[in-house]
Chains A and B, each alone.
Chain A
Amino acid sequence: DAKTTQPNSMESNEEEPVHLPCNHSTISGTDYIHWYRQLPSQGPEYVIHGLTSNVNNRMASLAIAEDRKSSTLILHRATLRDAAVYYCILRPLIQGAQKLVFGQGTRLTINP
C-alpha cells in the first residue's frame, strides 16, 4: 500500500484558514488522494478526494501538487467543530483494492 506522511499535530485559531499537508512521494498514476476526518468519539467521515486537479466542496478544498507527490487539505475558515484527526489516504483505482489504509493522521486543534 502506498504510504502517506502527515504531521502528528497542528494547531490553528478559530475563523482562520488551515492548511493540512500530506506527502505521498510514492504515489502511482492510478492512486486517488482521499481525506477523511474523525471527530472525537465518532467514526471517520469522508471529506474530499481528487486525482490531479484541485477540488472544492462544501467542507474543504484539496490542492494537489503538479507532480502529485504532495497535497494539502484546506479548511477555509476553521471552527471549533473542525477539531479532529485528519487522515490522508491513497486509494488505488484497481480491481480488488477496496479497503482504505489509514495512517496515524494529523490531530488538529482549534483555539477559540
Chain B
Amino acid sequence: DTGVSQNPRHKITKRGQNVTFRCDPISEHNRLYWYRQTLGQGPEFLTYFQNEAQLEKSRLLSDRFSAERPKGSFSTLEIQRTEQGDSAMYLCASSSNQYYRSGANVLTFGAGSRLTVL
C-alpha cells in the first residue's frame, strides 16, 4: 500500500470555475477526512466519512462545497463557483477504527492538493 493518494497535486483555476479533488485512502481504512490548510495555519477540519456515510461536516463547508464517498473507498471534494478565498491546500486523511479503544486511531494524511484561484 502506498499510503493516501491525492490528485491533482496542484490546481490553478479562475474564479467562478468548479474544481474537484480526489482522495484514495489506505485500502483497509474505513474512515476518511478532509481538511483545509492555508499558509501559516494548522489544518482545519472540513468533513468526515465512515464508510460511505458522511457523519460530520464543519461550518467551514459552505454550500459550494460537496464531498462524496460513494462506495466507501475513494472520495471526491468538489468546490463550485470557486472564490479567491478558497485558495488553500486540501488535505485528505484516512484511519481505521481498529485501535479506537487504545486511543490511537492514527490519521494517515496524503500530501495534499494545492488550489490556487486567480
Contacts and interface: CB of A to CB of B under 8 A. Distances in A.
Interface of A: 32, 36, 41-46, 49, 51, 85, 87, 91, 93, 96, 98-105
B42 interface: yes
11 contacts: A42-B112, A43-B110, A46-B107, A49-B106, A87-B42, A96-B56, A98-B48, A98-B105, A99-B48, A103-B42, A104-B40
Contacts of B55: 96, 98
Leading 4 A-B pairs by shortest Cβ distance:
A43-B109, A102-B42, A32-B103, A46-B106
A44 B110 CA distance: 8
Interface string B37-59: 00011111100101000011000
Interface residues of B, number: 29
Given A99-B33, A99-B56, A104-B41, A43 B104 contact: no
Contacts of A49: 103-104, 106
B108 A46 contact: yes
Contacts of B48: 98-99
Nearest to B9: A41
B23 to A, nearest CB: 11
